[in-house]
Each structure stands twice: as structure tokens, then as C-alpha cells.
A and B are shown apart, each in its own frame.
Chain A
Amino acid sequence: MMAETRAAFVKLDGVEKHFGAVRALDGVDLEIRAGECVGLVGHNGAGKSTLMNILTGTLEPGSGTISINGAAEGRYSVSRALKLGIRCVFQELSLCPNLSVAENTRINHPSLRGPGWRRRAAALIAQKMDEIFPGHGIDASDIVGDLSIGRRQMVEVARAFTVTDDPLNLVVLDEPTSSLDAHTAGQLLDFVRRFVGAGKSCILISHLLGEVLGNADRIIVMRDGKVVAANDAAAFDRDSLVATMGGAAAARIPAGSNGRKGEIGPVRVKARPARQTNDMELVARSGEIIGLAGLAGNGQTDLLLAIFDAAGGKRSGMEVTAPVALVAGDRQSDGIFPQWSIAQNIGIRSIERMLSGMLISPRREAELAAHWQQKIKIRTPNMNNNILSLSGGNQQKALFARALGSDAKIILMDDPMRGVDIGTKLDVYDLIREEAQNGRTFLWYTTETEELENCNRVYVFHSGRIVANLSRDELTEEKVIQSSFGEVA
């Protein structure tokens, strides 16, 4: 291809990044040339975001080199990246909701000042909006907080392409179409083609494989912190991409690997996502392990939270007939009480059962903690140590112990194995199957497709709805991934 002949604009060599014990990036080489659009794909946690944060200067690489235009960059930073014309449209919006569209444009352009800056800022952003999204219907004086999420994303994208003093050479688009409808997404992708046609570069990160296949010149596939494939887009098709991302080529998950099955009892949960348009609903019985699959952020967590709330009181479209407990995946924001000991963290869900008279019995609290330390193998010399003294995997075990040690008959799991080591996973998988045989119901949202093999049935989510209900016998990784991308299997 023509791109082959051009010199590399950005070159990363052997870049590594560790977060504690987690290897987010494990020796990545990357080359972006002028005049090409590079597609970057991979599952959650494959290291895409970390890589882009390093490229835009937000994170410092643990080791490895960054060179731009053939010159090695010693002290790379956000401001250095901006000076070199590297920008990023982040997945979480970086607009100020209390400011107008024009004022938000001003934030990124120090030169927009002095008399008439409002007019100039408004003209700058309006011109770029018109260029990318003709007929967008957004006024530069609109307050960003008043705009719908889709329009905010349009503003964010357009702002990244505005130019005043600093040059613009490379734009990283991280899921730029996640909140756009098909029409505006098409407008954006057309613009990206024109942009790279003019000799600039672009990195397109997207879960929508069709979007990447149709617009990228080259595609880079990441897995477990490594680049596992990099080739011309024409060399890939959807199936080969899925296979490269997911590991084994669309292998069929072996059935019946979870050994004997427990008794399946009465219905415990019936729930419909709020945005479900047909009559599909999630049904879970006692003794069942139900998987919730699909790409991250497609309504799985929302449904789990709705079920959690429904257990506390009545909700329309929900039927929850037993106490619930939730195992959080985002430990820091949803799970851990950082001031407390491991034992207290485990006990909080069960304090009412530990009362003796009016007071919580320290003996019972210690017994509960000791029981679960042994059962789930929490590695610590003393359960009275602070919870943060544990490794991430052991913290997660404590959260499992909190839920499993409670009176809950329904356990909701919100992608609890994120960033957890394999040893912990195996310990917990066994325990979940054992508890299910004892009659508990598990609703298990996971972004790791292999984990679904522990489930009796899997619901696949897309855009806030259930799009597939796969029984154990129908379950293949390929089917799950196909449905995840909104293509009903």
C-alpha cells in the first residue's frame, strides 16, 4: 500500500507498563505513519487505553522509547504531545458541563483570548462542526450540560480537530461513535477518511469491528498487553479479527465441564431491562448460574443494580423472591471500605445476624471471617489487618466472602474477576459451583468470555437489551461475540 512508503510519525519501541502486579503493557511496538488510519482492537483490559494514555503523555511508560518524527522523546508529557500535534478524544468526556460549546473550545486554545474571543471561538467550533457533522443543529452558545450525550460527543470530537496555534498531526479516537447514531457516525468516519487523505494520522479504537474494517488502513490487535497482530486491514475479516482478539479460533466451549449439576429449583429472579423492546426477559432459578455477556457497558450492570434495588422494594417488571447480595467488580468505588479490617469488610453484609442482644458480637464476627478465610483461601496472617494490606485478588476474595457469607440466596456478580490473577479465579470458580449446588442463584456479568463456561445459561446484552438467550448446549464463544456486536446469532 501507499502508506508503506511513508515515514513513521510515531514509533513506540518495547513499551511496558505495570500497575502493581498487573502487566498492562508487556513490550509493545507500535508505528503510526502519516496519512493512515490505524484501527486498534482488543477486548477490555487488553491494554488499549493504557497504550493510548502513554501515547498522549498522560501516563509515563515503565520502560521503552517513544520517538516522534524520527526523534526520540526524552521527557514526554501531555503538553509535549499537544505541541507535537497529538490529541485524544477520551472515552469519558472531557467537556465542562457548566460552560457553553464555545467556552469549552476556548479551554483547549490558549490563544483564544482578548476582545472578541467568544466570537472567534464560536466561529472556530461552528466551522468544524459544520465540516464534520453537517446539519448538526448545535449552537456554539448552547450549554454543554443541556446537550444530549450524543451531541456532547459530537462537540468533543469536533473540538479535537480545531486548530489555532499548535499543529494537528494525529488524533486518537477512543470509541468515538459509542453515543452517536448511525448517520452521525457515518459523517464522522467520512471526515476521518478526508483527514487522513490530507496526510494526517488517526488511531481509531472501536468495539464495532465493521467500523474498523471499513475505515482503517491498518489494524492492530491487542491481547493481554501485547500486540498479537498488525497488518493491512484488507488482510482481516470479521471472523479472523474475532479469532485473533479472543485467542483460540472461535473454539467451542466444552460442554459439561462443570461436572455434576445441582438441583434446579423454583424461579428466584425475573427481570426485564428497562430498554427491552421485545418480550425477552432474564429468568433465574435456584441452583442456577446465569451468565450476562456482551461488551462492557451495554446494560448488564444496570440490570444487576435494578435487581438489587428490586429486592429492597417493589419495582415494575421485576420479580425477586429472595435476599440478594452483590459482588462488586470495581472494588475501589463499589466494594471496599478502606478504613476497615478484612474481617469488618466481610462482616458488614451480615451484621444483623451477628448481634447478641443490642451489640455486634466480636466473637461471631471473627468466626465468620475465620470460616471464610479458610474456605476461600484469603492469604493474610491476620484477618484484623486492614483490607488494603491484601493483594487485589485477595481483596476480591474478601468481597466474595462478604456476599457468600451472608443470608443472600441470590448473588449478583458485577464482572468481579477484572484484573484478578488466575489462581484466585480458580479458587472462586469452584466455590461458586459448590454454592450453586447448595441452592444459591448466581447472576454473573463477565467481560471474560471463558468464564461463561461456568454458567448454565447466558444472556447476551447489546445497547441495554437482551439480544440472545443461549443455553449451555448452544454456547460458543463465537456466538457470544457475534451477538455482542448486535448481530443476532
Chain B
Amino acid sequence: MAALLPAGAPSRSGRETARRTRLLRALLPALSLAIVLGAIAWLNPRAISYFGFSLMLNLAIPIALATISQMFVIAGNELDLSIGTFVGFVGCVTATWLHDAPLLGAAVLLGSIAVYALLGALIHLRNLPSIVVTLGMSFVWQGLAILILPKPGGKAPDWLLAVTGFKPPFVPFPIVAALVIAAIVHFGLMRTSYGAVLRGSGGNPAAIARAGWSLLRTKMVLFGLAGLFGVLSGMTLIGITTSADANIGNGYTLLAIAGVILGGGEFMGGRVSPVGAVIGALTLALAASPLLTFMRIPPDWQVAANGAILIVVLAARVLISRREA
């Protein structure tokens, strides 16, 4: 169409529209979080306090970290169905070896990050569907977790308890942590020069390869980062719960995918947002339990709230895109 129009007004307004659509879509995660917070404040004003937030967002940090992990995988147009059991595996290592034999524990955790990077390499080199590979790996992580810790138990290392038990002045720890995570990942992926290449590998892999970058390397880096944040997620989870269980992370797989999508990410095309992903994770963490308790909705419906929020946000997204198109 541009070929027929002068370079002036029409295409510029088209670009403005595109910009506005993108802005609206970027605001959507924040908006959904605001609505959930508003509902909580309305139902129980006392919850909006230092103590209230510390309590309500207690488990949000491991969820946010797992979501970031999933986001790195999705940025490369892949999907990780094993992140939940991986978090469980890390949790079991943390509560046992990392506590009893810190060096061994640290080596195992670093090794598991390497395994993630190697999975990225395998998926790229053999052109395998990541869904199936990570599905298989989810069995492996779960099995290893059970081998390490057959019965719920173990104990978090003291230093970890100290970190997760930290009580900063004025602002509750989970909020500080969420801000720090969002800022670091945003800088790393959105502002560094290699971050641009990583996102580009999801946007137009052929162009990245044509410019001389190694797609094998980008995939390994993305999966390695996913492993790193999976490890962080499992460790903070144990820091909060103080002991582990092989099944402790199982629900995280679906939550992490939902968090990325809720945060404005898309399955294809390298379009992800670290800030959005953290907000998405917080929204899911808040909506799943505290809100419903305040609304006197039985806990049975907590899972449904996640599904409903996902559907409502996606529907809103379709509406925005259609309206602006």
C-alpha cells in the first residue's frame, strides 16, 4: 500500500496506531494486576499493608523466577514443559545436598544448568520439537527429585533462609525482589547488545544467521538462562517453605506459561517482556489465593481463577488488536 501513497501522513498515522496498540497491550498486564489489587483492597483494606503483602506475595517470587525461566525459552520460539518438575528437583537438591554438602550441591545445580544448555543444543541440532523433549525431561527431573528425597523433608541452608527471610524497611521483601528481578532481566535481555541478538533469533532466525550469528549459540544461551532461573526459582521456593517435597514444583509448568502469556509474551516471534512476565506472575500469585479467600470463594476455585484471568486477558488482547486494526 505504501507504494501508492506519498511518504507523508497516512503511513505515519498507521505507525502511530501500531504504537498505541503496542502500548495498550503492554499496559494490559499492569492493568490486570491493578484490578486484582483493587479488588483485594476493596474486600479487605487491611491486606494492603507491609504484613499483608509479605504474606500474600510470599510464593510470588519463585513463581516469578520460574516465569522468567519459561520466558527465555519462549523468546526462542520453544516451550518448556519440564520447568515445574525441574523446580522440584532443584528444591530437593537445595534441601538436602546444598544443606549437607554445599560444594556437591552447588556442583549439581551448576551441572543442571549445563544440562539445560545441552538440551537447547540438542533441540537445535536435531531440529526436535521442544515440547516432546522437555516432556521427557520432566519425567527425568521428577525421578531424580524422588531419588534424592523420597519423602518430604530436608532442610533449607541457613544462609538461604536468611536471604528469603530478609525484612527490608517500608517495602515488603517480595515486592523488592520482584522489582530487582524485573530490572535485571529487563536490562540483560532488552538493553544489552547480545540481548538484541537473542530476541532477534526468535523474531527472524534466518536474518540472524545471515548476519553471521550462531543460532546454536543463541539457543544454548536461552536454554542455559532458563536453567539458571529455574535453579533460582527452586532455591527461593525452599528458602520460603524451609523444606522440600519432590512434587513441590509440579504446578509451576502451567503457571509459568500462563505468566509469560499474561505478561504480554507471544509463543512465536521473540516477543516477550521481562517486566510483563514478572507482573503476570504476581497477578497469578495474588489472584490464585488471597483474592478468593477475601471474596469468600471456596479454595476449590483458585485454579479456575488463573484460567479465567488468562482467558479474560487474552480476550481483551484480541479486542484491542481488532479495534486498532
Say whether A106 contacts B6, CB under 8 Å: no
* Interface of B, helix, strand, loop or mixed by DSSP: helix
B136 CB to nearest chain A CB (Å) = 25
A231 lies within 8 A of chain B by Cβ: no
Nearest-neighbour CB distance to chain A for B146, whole angstroms, equals 40
Chain B min CB distance to A481 (Å): 20
When distances are taken between beta carbons in the complex, the residues of chain B under 8 Å from A142 are 15
Chain A residues 8 to 60 lying within 8 A of chain B, measured CB to CB, are 58
Query: Is the beta-carbon distance between B204 and A184 smaller than 8 angstroms?
Result: no
Question: Residue B269 contacts which of A97, A114, A147, A150 (CB distance < 8 angstroms)?
Answer: A97
- Residues of chain A contacted by B12 (CB below 8 angstroms): 137
Residues of chain B with a CB closer than 8 A to A78's CB: 210, 212
Q: A94–B210 contact, CB under 8 A?
A: yes
Judged by a CB distance under 8 angstroms, whether B27 is at the interface is no
Contact B7 A118 (CB under 8 A): no
Within 8 A of A (CB), among B245-277: 269-271
CA distance A78 to B271 in the complex (A): 28
Pairwise interchain contact B207-A118, C-beta atoms closer than 8 A: no
Question: B211 and A108: CB pair below 8 A?
Answer: yes
A93 to chain B, nearest CB (A): 8
B18 touches A98 (CB 8 A): no
Quick one: which of B5, B19, B204 has the most chain A CB within 10 A?
Answer: B204
B196 near A106 with CB under 8 A, answer yes
Known: A137-B7, A181-B3. A117 touches B269 (CB 8 A): no
Q: Collect the chain A residues with CB atoms within 8 Å of residue B7's CB.
A: 135-137, 150, 181, 183-184
Residues of B within 8 A of A106 (CB): 193, 196-197
| A107–B200 touching, CB < 8 Å | yes
Question: Chain B residues near A147 (CB, 8 Å)?
Answer: 15, 18
Given A96-B203, A98-B270, A143-B22: A148 and B6 within 8 A (CB)?
Answer: no
Q: Which of A95, A99, A118, A148 contacts B199 (CB 8 A)?
A: A99
Residue A482, interface by CB 8 Å:
no
Q: Give the distance in Å from the alpha carbon of A123 to the alpha carbon of B197 in the complex.
A: 19
Answer yes or no: B4 CB below 8 A from chain A CBs. yes
Residue among A118, A181, A184 facing the most chain B CB atoms (10 A cut-off): A181
B1 within 8 A of A: yes
A180 at the B interface (CB under 8 A): yes
Is the beta-carbon distance between A97 and B193 smaller than 8 angstroms?
Answer: no
Within 8 A of B (CB), among A115-165: 117-118, 135-137, 142-143, 145-151
Asked whether any CB of chain B lies closer than 8 Å to the CB of A341, the reply is no
Over the window 396-426 of chain A, the binary record of Cβ atoms lying under 8 Å from chain B Cβ atoms (1 yes, 0 no) is 0000000000000000000000000000000
Q: Does A375 contact B (CB under 8 A)?
A: no
> Residue-by-residue, is A438-462 near B (CB-CB < 8 Å gives 1, otherwise 0)?
0000000000000000000000000
Which residues of the partner chain B approach A95 to less than 8 Å between Cβ atoms?
204, 207
Q: Does B14 contact A (CB under 8 A)?
A: yes
Given A107-B211, A117-B193, A181-B7, A96-B204 contact (CB < 8 Å): yes
Whether a CB of chain A sits under 8 angstroms from the CB of B53 is no
Contacts A107-B200, A146-B19 hold; do A180 and B271 have CB atoms under 8 A apart? no
Q: Using known A-B contacts A136-B7, A146-B19, A148-B11, determine if residue A97 contacts B203 with beta carbons closer than 8 Å.
A: yes
Interface residues of B in 155-199 (CB under 8 A from A): 191, 193-194, 196-197, 199
Say yes or no: A148 contacts B193, CB within 8 Å.
Answer: no
Q: A148-B11, A463-B3 are in contact. Are A103 and B196 (CB under 8 A)?
A: yes
A244: shortest Cβ distance to chain B, in Å?
A: 27
Residue of A with least CB distance to B190: A103
Q: Is A350 an interface residue (CB 8 A)?
A: no
Q: Tell which of B3, B19, B191, B203 touches A180, judged by Cβ atoms closer than 8 Å.
A: B3
Q: Chain B residues near A150 (CB, 8 Å)?
A: 2-3, 7, 11
* Complex interface: chain B residues within 8 A of A114 (CB): 193
The reply to whether the CB of A206 lies closer than 8 angstroms to some CB of chain B is no
What number of A residues sit within 8 Å (CB to CB) of B?
40
Please state if B15 and A183 are interface contacts (CB–CB under 8 Å).
no
Does B206 interact with chain A (Cβ within 8 Å)? Answer: yes
Please indicate the chain A residues that have their CB under 8 angstroms from the CB of B2 in the complex.
148-151, 179-181
**B15's contact among A107, A148, A179, by CB below 8 Å, is which?**
A148
Contacts of B208 in A (CB 8 A): 96, 107
Say how far A113's CB is from chain B's closest CB, in angstroms: 4
A110 within 8 A of B: yes
Task: Tell me the chain B residues, 3-51 only, with Cβ under 8 Å from chain A.
Answer: 3-7, 11-12, 14-15, 18-19, 22
List of A residues within 8 angstroms of B19 by Cβ: 146
Whether B213 sits at the interface, judged by CB under 8 Å, is yes
A437 CB within 8 Å of chain B: no
Contact A96 B270 (CB under 8 A): yes
Q: Does A112 contact B (CB under 8 A)?
A: yes
Tell me the residues in window 63-100 of chain A with beta carbons closer than 8 Å to chain B beta carbons: 78-79, 82, 94-99
Which of A98, A108, A112, A136 is most buried by chain B, counting CB atoms within 10 A of its CB? A98
Q: Is there contact, CB below 8 Å, between B3 and A107?
A: no
Contact A112 B200 (CB under 8 A): no
The distance from the CB of A130 to the nearest CB of chain B, in whole angstroms, is: 14
User: Cβ of A215 < 8 Å from any Cβ of B?
Assistant: no
A114–B213 Cα gap in the complex (Å)? 17
B22 A181 Cβ-Cβ under 8 A: no
Q: Is B202 an interface residue (CB 8 A)?
A: yes
CA distance A199 to B91 in the complex (A): 65
A112 and B193 contact, CB distance less than 8 A: yes
The verdict on A178 contacting chain B, using a C-beta distance below 8 Å, is yes
| A181 CB contact (under 8 Å) in B4, B191, B206 | B4
Please report the C-alpha to C-alpha distance between residue A463 and residue B199 in the assembled complex, in whole angstroms: 34
A-B contact pairs, 7 of them (CB 8 A): A96-B270, A97-B204, A98-B200, A98-B271, A104-B200, A107-B200, A463-B3
Q: What is the interface of chain B, defined by CB distance below 8 A to chain A?
A: 1-7, 11-12, 14-15, 18-19, 22, 191, 193-194, 196-197, 199-200, 202-204, 206-208, 210-213, 269-271
Known pairs A135-B7, A143-B18 / 6 extra A-B pairs, C-beta < 8 Å = A94-B204, A99-B200, A107-B197, A146-B19, A179-B3, A463-B3
Pairs A-B, 10 closest by C-beta atoms: A150-B2, A96-B203, A146-B18, A98-B203, A94-B207, A96-B200, A113-B193, A103-B196, A96-B204, A148-B11
